[in-house]
Amino acid sequence: MPNNPYTWLEQSLATIHRADWYRSVQTMQSRPGAVVQLEGCQVINFASNDYLGLAGDERLIQAAVAATQEFGAGSTGSRLLSGHRELHKELEKAIASLKQTEEALVFSSGYLANLGTIAALVGKRDLILSDQYNHSSLKNGAILSGAGVVEYAHSDIEDLKRQLAKHRTQYRRCLIITDTVFSMDGDICQLPEILAIAQDFNCMVLVDEAHATGVLGATGAGGVEHFGCTGQPLIQVGTLSKALGSLGGYVAGSATLIDFLRNRAPSWIYTTALSPADTAAALAAVGIIQQEPERRTKLSWNVETLQQLIQEKLPLLKVLPSESPILCFQLATATDALMAGKQLKAAGIFAPAIRPPTVPTSRIRISVMATHELAHLQKLVNVLEGMNSPQ
DSSP letter at 33 equals S
Judged by CB under 6 A, the residue of 32, 110, 116, 325 near ligand PLP is 110
Handedness of CA 245, 247, 249, 250 (dihedral sign): negative
Binding marks (x or -) toward ligand PLP, 63..102, rule CB under 6 A?
Answer: ----------------------------------------
Position 185 contacts ligand PLP (CB under 6 A)? no
Binding marks (x or -) toward ligand PLP, 202..241, rule CB under 6 A?
Answer: ------x-xx---------------------------x-x
Position 171 contacts ligand PLP (CB under 6 A)? no
Triad 254, 255, 261: Cα angle to 5°: 90
Closest alpha carbon to 178 in 108, 229, 220, 218? 229
Judged by CB under 6 A, the residue of 141, 220, 223, 249 near ligand PLP is 249
Q: Which is nearer to ligand PLP, 295 or 365 (by Cβ)?
A: 365
Q: Are 123 and 171 in contact (CB under 8 A)?
A: no
Total residues contacting ligand PLP by CB under 6 A comes to: 14
DSSP string, 162-194: HHHHHHGGGSS-EEEEEESB-TTT--B--HHHH
Calpha distance 173→123 (Å, rounded): 9
Q: Which is nearer to ligand PLP, 111 or 329 (by Cβ)?
A: 111
Position 109 contacts ligand PLP (CB under 6 A)? yes
Judged by CB under 6 A, the residue of 178, 183, 271, 343 near ligand PLP is 183
Calpha distance 111→195 (Å, rounded): 23
Minimum gap (Å) between residue 114 Cβ and ligand PLP: 6
* Contacts to ligand PLP by CB under 6 A: 109-111, 114, 135, 137, 179, 183, 208, 210-211, 239, 241, 249
